[in-house]
Structure 1
Amino acid sequence: MAEAFLSPSWYRVAGRRLALKPHVAVHIHRYRGRIWYVLQDGASRRVHRLTPTAMTLLDRLDGRRTLDEVWSEVAGELEDLAPSQEQTIQILTQLHAADLLAGDEAPLIEELVERYDTQRRREQAKRGRNPLSISIPLFDPDRMLAAMARRLPPRSGIFALLLWLVVVLPAAVLAVLHWRELTRTTSDQLLSLQNLALIACIYPVVKALHELGHGLVAKRFGAAVHETGVMLLVFYPVPYVDASGSAAFGSKWRRAAVAAAGIAVELWLAGLALFLWLVIEPGTLRALAYNVMLICGASTLLVNGNPLLRFDGYYVFTDLMEVPNLGQRANRWWGELGERVVFGLRRLRADIATRREKVWFALYAPASYVYRLVLAFSIALFIASEYYVAGVLLAVWSLTQSVGKPLWTIASRIATNPRLTDRAMRVYATLGLGGGALCAALFLVPIPHRTSAQGVVWLPDHAQLRARAPGFVGAALAGLDNSVSRRQPLFQLADADLDGRIRLQKAKLREAMLRAEAERFGDQSKLVLQLREVEDERATLARYEERAGFRTVSAEAAGRFEVARFGDLPGRYVKEGETLGHVLPETTAFLRVVVTQDDIDLVRYRLVGVSVRLASELGRVIPAGIVREIPAAQDELPSPVLSLDGGGPFATEPREGGRLRTLQRIFQFDVEMAEPPRQARFGTRAYIRFEHDWEPLGLQAWRRVRQTFLALFHA
């Protein structure tokens, strides 16, 4: 419901004679077939968008007629579409604050000085509000850029686009093909002092070319570029160019081209750096090329080119989608929605947004907020892994800006909003009950608690044919893929050294028995010693013969006889415990499951139930239970299926050859399925869900945050 058409404050401004100042230029933009008017301030280079209704009112402010006369005339013409008095006051207040209106009274010198001081304080506060982005203007580059733009050939844009595609498209394909090599660098290498010094030298050069792209394209299309300087971005001094004059362009394609110019330059540089990185040997030059890729590629994809942050990608997106001021309007839409739903306030202004724009508002504001929060804390944690104090300070600042500042803004808006004065009890009750309900929901109400893991279908121990003694493999005693019965001999190992020891030991035993027989009627004390020697030799022979019996490898259970490399086994020497083959049962109920350090305590001490989904039958949930834990933490995966290369969740050390050594400690469990499917083959991936005691969401989140910090800081 819209507000009242008249305003009790109208008498304060009704008699003023106002007009736009001469340095204000008016441009027409079209968004989704609707006309918007853009006011460009030639002094401050700022732009302000107005609706046709508001522009109809401003266009008739000529400095001779009073505001009340103009508003009455517009209200009579537009009728229901006319702006209310309160809306008119708000529009004029915003334009007056931007110093775009001239009045019928000469401004006092004190007012001008105060306005100048206020504007200067705002600029200084804006620069100091974000320690990661502080702007320092240096000089006016307009004449320099104009001279460069005049030297460009007439169709230089088409040539530049073709050159960009020739470099960037092949580079994107090569980046995918060499992704593992590109992502092999660890945080300690990236954040080493030597590499940071190299980045400090590269970053300003890359950003200078980036800003030169903005300035040249803007100047080529006729925009004025009057400011360039240095911005302290993430503590690095980088150049910037103020190309905001392009916002007055009537063509959305030109506006988007200016915003995208810097992104295109960086991606082009990243492509060239990738080509160089692939063809040169390791060294300083290769490290330089890698850092250029990191700066131009990562910063473009994650920050500068991402529309969720208000950098170049945001302006490209809003211009092409024709949703002007998306970020501000989305925040305002959510704020007004909260006022209506929570506090029951009526809508302050007529809603001119289309249904499609409201969808963008509903999605963009929360997505942008969450992304900024995740990105800020990810950067802080990444830096803290090598530089603890700097990372913690950055995390505190991120928390203050991302959580503390929005909460303070909301609280201030509620406390200073005059429309909430007569609803104080409802406001306080709503805030109190809402905050209490939120805390209760987070920390008192238990919800299901689950953790997930992956594993593989695993054979039971009795299915593995292991050599119980060392020796050379003879011919197989059963055919491959044949069904075998329990205790059926499958391999016979040969050990000439053991055979020789047995023959020697038999000779020693016979010799000891003859000496004992010789002393039978002699010295009885010597006889006792000889009999003991006979027993020792007999025991030694028994051990050798027992080991000789181990040379026969038999099936411990019935099943199908399989060997991975059947033809390579005969004549091969195997060690004790080495696997020769398998006797596969018709079905197996066992899984080998890998659990991370973060979840091990929950699996050990707070387990309620286990369920399994096999990759071959994702639609079926199989109840299961843990039957055994492999003692102690390990760093080697049981199967390549669980590695990143195999589609699993665990990264492995690339320099370990054929070993599947993980970058983190892991724990392994044997899980038995209650109803094993007959189609489950050895090595099939399995998804395991562990059910734990119910726990409030806030406590679950706190445990994960605490584990993240402990792991990051090696505590």
Structure 2
Amino acid sequence: GMLNHLCLNVFFVSTVTTVIFNANPLLRYDGYYMLADFLEIPNMRPKAEKQLQQWFAWWCLGIDVPNDPFMPTTGRAWFVLFAIASSVYRWVVLFGITVFLYTVLKPYRLQSVGIMLAVGSVSAIIVGSGWNLYKLLSTPREDPMSKVKLTVSAAVVCLLIAGILFIPVPWYEEAACYVEPVGIEHVYTRIPGFVEEIKTQPDKTIEAGAPLLVLKNPDLDDRLEQLNLQEKLQQKEMESYEATGDRDGQRLATEHLDAIRDQITELKLQISQTSVVAPIAGKVISPPRIPAPKRERSREQLASWTDTPLAPKNEKAFLEPRTHIASIAPGDEFHAVLLVNQGDRGDLKIGDTVRVKLDLYPDQVFDGKITTFADRYLEFAPPALSNKYGGPLPTVSDSQGREKLTSPVFQGTIEFEEQPPSLTTGMRGRVRFVVQKRTVFDWVWRWFRQTFHFRL
């Protein structure tokens, strides 16, 4: 996404200019020096870390550290906040550089070098923090540590960790959806062929079994003609064996004749499937439109059909197997089709109440209830929901031009409590549902995984 792209570019551009051009291996960017000059505080980071140590020693351990005359007397809270932010920043930079080195060195099978550098850096930070704590505790002093503050600090830390890990925090999640008629049936080609005749057009009402279009496959016709000729020859061969009394030859010829007739039966079944018929009665709905290829691309390959297969201009065009011809809607009632990520599937069940916001009505929210869920994940996304066409789902195009989802998604249906007006097939929207069982750690970890995608 845009956030990932901008953050990555800012990070690497700043790192290159800081380390290479400014010869600053400490990765203190220009903002650090600008802030130090603006506040007129030299060595701002060491002073901030020392101030953080003093606060930690007094409030958590009850140790009174002597004041440093060179430390600032005002704005100490900002120093502590800066020290905490610097520590977080240090870990972020360490993690980013480690991942970068790992991915760069992996093609050369030198990823162990990046791992060793990461282990060394982490060990240095941990050892340094432990050494500072040891010096703080071993410093001679008149008053002992406060057991009350130490106990309270330990209890607060334990409660915070327990709250983050175990206390559920209700929050909402969102998923993509689109609208389609209830009971809709999608019609696809089974056999490849050229469009011989278009029998109907979108928005017309047809009966079950009525043809939508007729295909012609010359290869199947030629093969059927050859098999009919082979059947006649094999029939004559069997009759000749019968006339001569050769029972073994007659038996073998009969087996060959039965095999040819089985092939003819199978081939006639395939030829019958060149007539694409409606599985149910209802209204014909257009499939997603295929735009015309760009001029540069049309020069590289032969032009195929465009718009929809039922468009009159596509007569004599070649259709591949599994081409979406049309959809048949048996009625005027609509429902929403929910596409939920695998990570959220366990938080939803049939009967749960959700809220739907459609792109056509951005200021209105419609309540609904989940009625069904698919047993297996969906591999391909509807083109309207692909991020290549402005949708929310990230997809990649396969060799057949289908939009394949980059992560597992499960499909469900939502029944509206009150039908929204003026719905059309394929209308996009968002579904919001409340998750009750996730802790703060689960929410933060989920946000991190969704924001940063590292493929090692």
Shorter chain as denominator, the TM-score bin is: 0.5 to 0.7
Q: Secondary structure at the match of 1:491?
A: strand
Task: Give the Cα–Cα distance (whole angstroms) in 2 for the partners of residues 342 and 415 of structure 1.
Answer: 16
* More divergent stretch after superposition (327-336 vs 395-404): 327-336
Counterpart in the other structure of 1:168: none
Residue 390 and residue 341 in structure 1: after superposition, are their counterparts in 2 closer, same or farther (change >3 A)? Answer: same
Counterpart in the other structure of 1:380: 98
1:389 aligns with 2:389: no
Task: Give the Cα–Cα distance (whole angstroms) in 2 for the partners of residues 324 and 656 of structure 1.
Answer: 61
1:316 to 34, 39, 60: 34
2:202 to 465, 474, 480: 480
Structure with more helix by fraction: 1
On the 8 A contact 2:338/2:411 being kept in 1, the answer is: yes
2:325 to 577, 580, 587: 580
Residue 555 and residue 656 in structure 1: after superposition, are their counterparts in 2 closer, same or farther (change >3 A)? Answer: closer
Gaps of 5+ in 1: 1-175, 184-292
* More divergent stretch after superposition (385-394 vs 323-332): 323-332
Counterparts of residues 108-127 of structure 1 (less than 5 Å): none
Task: Give the Cα–Cα distance (whole angstroms) in 2 for the partners of residues 698 and 630 of structure 1.
Answer: 23
1:627 aligns with 2:349: no
The letter for the 1-side match of 2:74 is: A
Task: Give the Cα–Cα distance (whole angstroms) in 1 for the partners of residues 440 and 125 of structure 2.
Answer: 24
2:267 to 544, 566, 579: 544
Counterpart in the other structure of 1:409: 132
1:669 aligns with 2:410: yes
Residue 437 and residue 411 in structure 1: after superposition, are their counterparts in 2 closer, same or farther (change >3 A)? Answer: farther
Per-residue CA distance 1:184-243 (angstroms, 9 max, x = gap): xxxxxxxxxxxxxxxxxxxxxxxxxxxxxxxxxxxxxxxxxxxxxxxxxxxxxxxxxxxx
Counterpart in the other structure of 1:399: 122
Larger Rg: 1
Aligned residues: 403
Residue 328 and residue 504 in structure 1: after superposition, are their counterparts in 2 closer, same or farther (change >3 A)? Answer: closer
Q: Secondary structure at the match of 1:492?
A: strand
The letter for the 2-side match of 1:429 is: T
The letter for the 2-side match of 1:313 is: G
On the 8 A contact 2:368/2:416 being kept in 1, the answer is: yes
Counterpart in the other structure of 1:561: 285
**Alpha-carbon offset, residue 314 of structure 1:** 1.2
Counterparts of residues 171-182 of structure 1 (less than 5 Å): none
Residue 296 and residue 561 in structure 1: after superposition, are their counterparts in 2 closer, same or farther (change >3 A)? Answer: closer
On the 8 A contact 1:613/1:688 being kept in 2, the answer is: yes
Task: Give the Cα–Cα distance (whole angstroms) in 2 for the partners of residues 620 and 398 of structure 1.
Answer: 53
Counterparts of residues 6-405 of structure 1 (less than 5 Å): 297-300=14-17, 310-320=28-38, 327=45, 330-331=48-49, 334-335=52-53, 338=56, 341-342=59-60, 353=74, 358=77, 360-361=78-79, 363-385=81-103, 386=105, 387-405=110-128
Task: Give the Cα–Cα distance (whole angstroms) in 2 for the partners of residues 399 and 512 of structure 1.
Answer: 81
Per-residue CA distance 1:461-507 (angstroms, 9 max, x = gap): 96433112222113321123334454432111123444455566667
Q: Secondary structure at the match of 2:408?
A: strand
Per-residue CA distance 1:105-132 (angstroms, 9 max, x = gap): xxxxxxxxxxxxxxxxxxxxxxxxxxxx
Q: Secondary structure at the match of 1:475?
A: strand
On the 8 A contact 2:18/2:28 being kept in 1, the answer is: no
Task: Give the Cα–Cα distance (whole angstroms) in 2 for the partners of residues 621 and 403 of structure 1.
Answer: 52
Task: Give the Cα–Cα distance (whole angstroms) in 1 for the partners of residues 226 and 401 of structure 2.
Answer: 42
Task: Give the Cα–Cα distance (whole angstroms) in 2 for the partners of residues 671 and 592 of structure 1.
Answer: 7
**Alpha-carbon offset, residue 638 of structure 1:** 6.3
On the 8 A contact 2:335/2:415 being kept in 1, the answer is: no
Counterpart in the other structure of 1:684: 428
The letter for the 1-side match of 2:200 is: A
On the 8 A contact 1:465/1:580 being kept in 2, the answer is: yes
Residue 430 and residue 710 in structure 1: after superposition, are their counterparts in 2 closer, same or farther (change >3 A)? Answer: same
Residue 699 and residue 620 in structure 1: after superposition, are their counterparts in 2 closer, same or farther (change >3 A)? Answer: closer
Q: Secondary structure at the match of 1:398?
A: helix
Q: Secondary structure at the match of 1:590?
A: strand
Residue 613 and residue 509 in structure 1: after superposition, are their counterparts in 2 closer, same or farther (change >3 A)? Answer: same
On the 8 A contact 1:449/1:692 being kept in 2, the answer is: yes
Q: Which has the higher contact order (CA 8 A, sep 6+)?
A: 2
Task: Give the Cα–Cα distance (whole angstroms) in 2 for the partners of residues 311 and 470 of structure 1.
Answer: 62
Per-residue CA distance 1:20-41 (angstroms, 9 max, x = gap): xxxxxxxxxxxxxxxxxxxxxx
* More divergent stretch after superposition (511-520 vs 460-469): 511-520
Q: Supply the RMSD in Å over aligned alpha carbons.
A: 5.8
Task: Give the Cα–Cα distance (whole angstroms) in 2 for the partners of residues 382 and 367 of structure 1.
Answer: 22
Counterpart in the other structure of 1:145: none
On the 8 A contact 1:484/1:559 being kept in 2, the answer is: yes
Per-residue CA distance 1:317-374 (angstroms, 9 max, x = gap): 34346777654565456555555654578998799536xx85x546533333222211
Task: Give the Cα–Cα distance (whole angstroms) in 1 for the partners of residues 219 and 113 of structure 2.
Answer: 66
**Alpha-carbon offset, residue 379 of structure 1:** 0.6
Q: Secondary structure at the match of 1:671?
A: strand
Q: Secondary structure at the match of 2:375?
A: strand
Q: Secondary structure at the match of 1:481?
A: coil
Q: Secondary structure at the match of 1:418?
A: coil
**Alpha-carbon offset, residue 648 of structure 1:** 5.2
The letter for the 1-side match of 2:151 is: A
Task: Give the Cα–Cα distance (whole angstroms) in 2 for the partners of residues 524 and 588 of structure 1.
Answer: 69
**Alpha-carbon offset, residue 570 of structure 1:** 0.9
Task: Give the Cα–Cα distance (whole angstroms) in 2 for the partners of residues 574 and 362 of structure 1.
Answer: 68
**Alpha-carbon offset, residue 584 of structure 1:** 6.0
Q: Secondary structure at the match of 2:198?
A: coil
Counterpart in the other structure of 1:221: none
**Alpha-carbon offset, residue 626 of structure 1:** 3.7
Residue 321 and residue 299 in structure 1: after superposition, are their counterparts in 2 closer, same or farther (change >3 A)? Answer: farther
Gaps of 5+ in 2: 290-306
Counterpart in the other structure of 1:425: 147
The letter for the 2-side match of 1:577 is: R
**Alpha-carbon offset, residue 316 of structure 1:** 1.3
On the 8 A contact 1:614/1:685 being kept in 2, the answer is: yes
The letter for the 2-side match of 1:543 is: E
1:468 aligns with 2:190: yes
Task: Give the Cα–Cα distance (whole angstroms) in 2 for the partners of residues 590 and 697 of structure 1.
Answer: 30
Residue 362 and residue 571 in structure 1: after superposition, are their counterparts in 2 closer, same or farther (change >3 A)? Answer: farther
